[in-house]
Amino acid sequence: MIFLKTPEEVNVMRKANLIVRDTLLMVRDRIRPGVSTAEVDKWVKEYIESQGAKPSCLGYAGYPASTCISIDDVVVHGIPSSKKYIEEGQIVGVDLCAYIDGYHGDSARTFMIGKVSEEKRKLVETAEAAFFEGIKGITSASRLGDISGTIQNYVESHGYSVVRALTGHGIGREMHEDPAVPNYGVVGRGIRLHHGMTLAVEPMINLGRYEVYTEKDGWTVRTKDHSPSAHYENTVVIWDDGVEILTM
């Protein structure tokens, strides 16, 4: 079931989403080579809690951390570890959610650590650009495929592949709500969007093929060919006259 939000509910959601935005800005300013992914997770937990919110990911379906930290060929859901250190030249996806006043916010960024290869830089930049292409011109008169198909067309036109086993999602009182928001599809197809729909739109794109697999820990998703992957996500709300990004 899809839950449409009233303007009053969206106003409450802004609080959670601005906390998510500010948490990612904090990570952007502090992440560097030599820092463990567990330390980054600690920063995130402490900051979210300092704002009176809770990290939505912590304990979700048994997930053991507040943040998903995904390095190079890890697409999403990398589990932070005190034994895993961030290195120069890596791309590091940081995906996090916050919960406050009954609503969730969700966003992800892929950070380039120091001097990265040109192919990694272009991959990260394309993931971000694909998000903005996907929501361009979207209103309550659009269809879901207008987002999904546009993202796929943009990504593939730049020579990359779109992960198909994972999607974006609705968000609100629950971290994951209907509808699923694939990053592939056909423009003009799919369910009609509606005023008050809140969605987490999140292109996940690979330098190589789109196939992925999940490691034995039940969470970590890697590219099957071990090519680098980039992830960019924001929570948005659909209005009659356009899209508002809540995590920017």
What average pLDDT does this structure show over 109-118?
Answer: 98
Q: What pLDDT does 29 receive?
A: 97
Distance CA 40, CA 152 (A): 31
Among 103, 91, 108, 115, which residue's Cα sits nearest to residue 44? 108
Rounded CA separation 186/23 (Å): 34
Percent of the chain past pLDDT 70, that is, above it, reads: 100
pLDDT in tens, 7-54: 999 999 999 999 999 999 999 999 999 999 999 999 999 999 999 999
CA distance 110 to 125: 9
Contact 25, 4 (CB under 8 A): no
Q: Is the pTM higher than 0.75?
A: yes
Length of the chain, please? Answer: 248
Domain at 7-245, CATH from 3.40.50.300, 3.40.50.970, 3.90.230.10, 3.90.1150.10? 3.90.230.10
Query: Count H helices, E strands: the chain?
Result: 4, 15
| Residue-wise pLDDT tens digits, 137-151 | 999 999 999 999 999
> Which tens digit of pLDDT belongs to each residue from 207-223?
999 999 999 999 999 99
Local confidence band at 72 (pLDDT 50, 70, 90 cut-offs): very high
**Residues whose CB is less than 8 angstroms from the CB of residue 42 and which lie 6 or more positions away in sequence, other chains included:** none
